Structure 1
Amino acid sequence: MASKPVKLVVRPRGKPIRNLPEETTLALLDSTADLYKRIAASSGTSVHRLRITKGSDGSLIPNSKGVTIDRTGLRDQSKIDVKDLGPQIAWRTVFIVEYLGPLLIHPLIYYLRPYIYRLPLLNQSPSSLQTLSLILICLHFLKREFETIFIHRFSLATMPILNIFKNSAHYWLLAGLNIAYWTYSPSSPTAKPANPLLTYVGIALFAIGELLNLNTHVVLRNLRSSGGTERGIPHGLGFDWVTCPNYLFETMAWVGIWMVNRSWSTGFFTVVAVAQMAAWAKKKERKYRSEFGDRYRRKRYAILPGIY
């Protein structure tokens, strides 16, 4: 049986969109992705720049192959509002740029120590802890880049291009310049003899945290098909403890780095990062409960077992 066609009234929201059609016709069983493609083709605009909402209540119409026009509640002569989100950039590109900052800044400050801190000739060699800190931090962000390129599957293809500066500041300034400048300083705790217990425990926490974090990302990757936006309920190591074990294991790795270099700057970054991840984890828990209902086993703790 053929699906009934519906005519939708198209209205611009915000700044005018050149060549935006006044109306468009689709079948009730067509997907909302078809709606986005049709509006994008008619207006000559990238589909990733468009945000379409229902004129009746302003709710978002998702760009999804799995959601039909009928399911959104749109009917013949329904009004839809189309907004141009402006220039976009791929999420994958944003992640690559974010993590590149520390990978450039840490080796630069490490090797330029004699010039940055004006060290006398006898004190120019970095300590073993400073070298170890450099290795751990670079390994962490190299792993991040590897995951971004080969593992992560993103539910959204793009984000507004100006957000790259805000997102990158966290890594380039806090994880990059902030940690590097104080870690490789001659007055840093890393310039002093190592505490073997703290150092070995820190290395162990770092290694375990990074490996388990990688495993969690593989589990999350396998919930979504290549190019798909579907969501699933994750299961596996850590998911019975907290909502987001990837954030738990990320915290474990950074605590390990902190124990190795004992720098206040690393501690400051770790606290800020954990606070941000905790907010994301709480949001993720609410989303799981809303999306999956009784199929999802609610978690008491979002990121830190027994704490938060």
Structure 2
Amino acid sequence: MVSFSVSLTGKPPSFVDRTAFPLKGDITTSEPTIRDVKAAVTTKFPKFGKERQKITISGEKAPLADDVKLSTLKGKELSVKDLGAQISWRGVYIIEYLGPILIHALVYHFPKVFYGRDVVHSDLQTFLYLFVLVHFAKREVETVYVHRFSHGTMPFSNVYKNCGHYWGLGGLVLAWDLYRPGASKIQTSNEYLRTIGLILAFAEVSNLNTHMALRALRPTGSTKRAIPYGYGFDGPLTGAWGGVSCPNYFFESVAWGTVAWVSGSVGAWVFFIVGTGQMLIWAKKKHAAYKKEFGSAYPKRKAMIPFIY
């Protein structure tokens, strides 16, 4: 039996009585963890689910992982903060990727509403429109059937921030500039389109392959991490510097860089540069996390761009 005491920080949700804190009690499990403390808070306040609780050591900002044992925190005071209403990561991704599909379809099929005139789209515009639909439809399918998430939920307020990139830049800005009347004058040959199609197909299939490899590393319902190997992760020779920690980001960047290059669209370049910049930041963090967790066992790789970064 282990006794616990947890105080409340920040603004409490309406259904939590601040006078109930510090919340004290006993945990009878053999190896009580932070997960048990969250369960005790939820037992006292059923609407205060574990997903919206942030447990920290009093005076510190870093959240304690659910599997941290209370025996390692003897003498430490715990605090709980409300993270607000939550939404599943899967739900956020579905909403994010649905936006570009709807917006591109509306701008492409109803140009008079957006440009004040009809547009006879060029073969290149139609080709890129179909690519956008296939790309984001693929992302929706991956969200439902492929991706496994380390965290079940995120604050609902993040939906607006996350959708800003996809609905704003990847949706309205990209679609407006790709299908505008002036761009319809750009002529391309069928051979050129086939070449571009092969490059985009390579990037999309390679990106999917990376996601499948990552999925295979994590059993259902687990947050287990392991070193990924294989296509994209390794260079020409296993462990060579040509490998990267986040090949999915690299292939994603190749796809949108190709769209920007062939279209000459300012909107496409903005979406490519902003998206690639964000992926470089994510890749650096994931690369550092791999190296910290696996130490010398982790292969010599770059974070995202082979041989460069």
Shift of 1:135: 0.2
2:96–2:162 contact (8 Å) kept in structure 1: yes
User: What residue in structure 2 maps to residue 29 of structure 1?
Assistant: 31
User: What residue in structure 1 maps to residue 204 of structure 2?
Assistant: 210
In structure 1, how many angstroms separate the alpha carbons of the residues matched to 2:59 and 2:273? 43
2:206–2:251 contact (8 Å) kept in structure 1: yes
In structure 2, how many angstroms separate the alpha carbons of the residues matched to 1:82 and 1:146? 36
Instruction: Describe how 1:1-308 pairs up with structure 2 within 5 A.
Output: 5-16=1-12, 17-18=16-17, 19=20, 22-26=23-27, 27=29, 29-44=31-46, 45-55=48-58, 57-64=60-67, 67-70=68-71, 73-75=72-74, 78-119=76-117, 124-188=119-183, 190-194=184-188, 198-240=192-234, 241-299=243-301, 301-308=302-309
Shift of 1:298: 4.1
In structure 1, how many angstroms separate the alpha carbons of the residues matched to 2:21 and 2:83? 14
Cα separation, partners in 2 of 1:119 and 1:151, compared to 1, 3 Å: same
Identical columns (%): 38
Shift of 1:141: 0.2
In structure 2, how many angstroms separate the alpha carbons of the residues matched to 1:99 and 1:58? 32
In structure 2, how many angstroms separate the alpha carbons of the residues matched to 1:194 and 1:53? 59
Shift of 1:22: 1.9
TM-score (norm 1): 0.89
In structure 2, how many angstroms separate the alpha carbons of the residues matched to 1:264 and 1:307? 26
1:136 alignment partner, SS class: helix
CA offsets 1:242-270 (integer angstroms, 9 cap, x no match): 11001011112212323443322112211
CA offsets 1:36-83 (integer angstroms, 9 cap, x no match): 22222222211100010123755422124xx4333xx122x6421111
Shift of 1:197: 6.1
List runs of 5+ in structure 2 lacking aligned partners.
Answer: 235-242
User: What residue in structure 1 maps to residue 237 of structure 2?
Assistant: none
Say how many residue pairs are matched. Answer: 294
In structure 2, how many angstroms separate the alpha carbons of the residues matched to 1:205 and 1:165? 33
TM-score (norm 2): 0.88
In structure 2, how many angstroms separate the alpha carbons of the residues matched to 1:69 and 1:146? 40
CA offsets 1:91-130 (integer angstroms, 9 cap, x no match): 111101110111000010111113432336xxx4222111
1:60 alignment partner, SS class: coil
List runs of 5+ in structure 1 lacking aligned partners.
Answer: none
Cα separation, partners in 2 of 1:191 and 1:294, compared to 1, 3 Å: same
Root-mean-square deviation over aligned CA pairs: 2.0
CA offsets 1:272-296 (integer angstroms, 9 cap, x no match): 1111000000011111122222232
In structure 2, how many angstroms separate the alpha carbons of the residues matched to 1:93 and 1:233? 27
CA offsets 1:184-235 (integer angstroms, 9 cap, x no match): 11112x5321155653332111101110111111111122222222222211
Shift of 1:90: 0.8
In structure 1, how many angstroms separate the alpha carbons of the residues matched to 2:61 and 2:270? 40
